[in-house]
Amino acid sequence: MSTHREVKVLFSEAEIAARVEAIADAIQKADLHNLLVVAVLKGSFMFAADLLRALHRKGMQPQVEFVHLSSYLEGTVSQGHITILKDIESDVSGRDVLLVDDILESGRTLAFAKDLLVARGAHRVLIGVMLEKPGKRAVQVNADFVGFKSPDVFVVGYGMDVAHNYRELPFIGVVS
């Protein structure tokens, strides 16, 4: 059962839409070949869908895969151990891969995913995230494309949740 606490808007629907278009422009200029977009579930699903539509509008035709990794389980703090809950099916050998995630915080999940794809033979692995919390990095990994720098608050909405609630919100906010 979901609770209905108030959520304060941090980044509006319009601000997000503008950033997604800007990220798509930057990706188009990155000269990627045989592009495979790998969306990291569950949090990135809205960002990935919007980004894929924006890339289509730019004339790009990436293939899409999903990987489900977990470092949180039921908590709100990364535990450090990454588990593959659902792996991709495509061969990444020689391909350019764009990992898409909701937030770059500790960096553990994205570093794990990037290393995995490089080990499988990807030509290049780039990272695109909607939010980045630079002060929280536990491992050395950087995003190539960033929607917004986020303050150090727990965010929800636009695919991000707390205990599976608030993912449906069209904006990114903070539960008060």
What is d(CA 108, CA 110) in angstroms, rounded to the nearest whole number? 6
Sorting pLDDT into bands at 50, 70 and 90, what band is 1?
Answer: very low
Check if the beta carbon of residue 76 is closer than 8 Å to that of residue 65: no
- Exposed e or buried b per residue across 30-67, where buried means at least 16 C-beta atoms within 10 angstroms of its C-beta: eebeebbbbbbbbbbbbbbebbbebbeeeeeebebbbb
pTM of the full predicted structure? 0.91
Residue-level pLDDT at 39 = 98
Domains recognised in the chain with CATH numbers: 14-150 (3.40.50.2020)
Q: What is the pLDDT of residue 117?
A: 98
Whether the CB-CB separation of 105 and 133 falls below 8 Å is answered with yes
The H or E element that residue 48 is part of is helix 45-57
Residue range 2-33, pLDDT digits in tens: 445 689 999 999 999 999 999 999 999 999 99
**49-76 confidence digits (pLDDT tens):** 999 999 999 999 999 999 999 875 555 5
| HSE value, Cβ hemisphere, 13 Å, CA-based, for 24 | 22
Instruction: Write phi, then psi, for 57 (nearest 5 degrees).
Output: -60, -25
